[in-house]
Amino acid sequence: MIKFEKLEHNGQRYLLYYPLNYEKGKKYPVMFHLHGAGSRGKDFKGFEDSCIIALLNKGDSPLANGFTVIPQCEDDTWFYNFSRLMDFVRFIYNEDYVDKTKFNASGISMGGYAIYQVMMNEPLLFNKAIVCCGGGMYWNAFQMKNIKFRIFHGEKDVAVFPEESRRMYSRLKEAGTDVTLTIYPECDHNCWEKTYLNYDNLKWLFE
């Protein structure tokens, strides 16, 4: 099992998962992940069914090649305390273990909306992003044109309509972004398991 810690920074609780065979002083890729509404809380119990946590606990996925940072949202949405989230992103980016050329974003559902907004606010911090069933201010997508994207959505999603991802993809493509969109024809809201259990996506993120 990969080593992890439960930590806090300026009131933001988070999980920090270390790389396998971690060497102090070495720089590593980072996946900064924002979870969906089902994992909200103050004690990390909402993470019990997380496929990301399951992959980390196995220790044989590409996630073992870097750090994974997972803050927990204790409010109704990430946007209730967005300034704290942005402060936390900058704090992690400046940690000693971070390879700043491989600081990557990840988000699902509620976290997909938030991670888009985070990247719009600080586009120069991020290298690549995986976003599942997210959406947001697609008219500002050009702010993120230098980030590489893989976007995923289920065609049968009625919680977040797939048009949200299609709009963001279209605007990113117009801006000249390196972006792909995958729509799973038979999938509903939970498209993240298909996405993260496909190790090719995680390998791409950490390359």
Q: What pLDDT, on a 0 to 100 scale, did the predictor assign at position 56?
A: 85
pLDDT band at 57 (very low <50, low <70, confident <90, very high): confident
Report the Cα 94 to chain-centroid distance in Å: 18
Q: What is the pLDDT of residues 137-172, one digit of tens each?
A: 999 999 999 999 999 999 999 999 999 999 999 999
pLDDT band at 96 (very low <50, low <70, confident <90, very high): very high
Q: Could you tell me the CA-to-CA distances from 10 to 3, 4, 5, 32, 185 in Å, in that order?
A: 23, 19, 16, 17, 42
Report the candidate in 90, 95, 169 with the shortest Cα–Cα distance to residue 122.
Answer: 90
Per the model's pLDDT, the better-predicted residue between 38 and 115 turns out to be 115
pLDDT band at 45 (very low <50, low <70, confident <90, very high): confident
Share of the chain above pLDDT 90, in %: 85
* pTM for the predicted model, two decimal places: 0.95
Per the model's pLDDT, the better-predicted residue between 2 and 153 turns out to be 153
Gap between the Cα atoms of 79 and 37, Å rounded: 12
The fold for domain 4-206 equals Rossmann fold (3.40.50)
What value does the mean pLDDT take over residues 65-84? 94
pLDDT band at 1 (very low <50, low <70, confident <90, very high): low
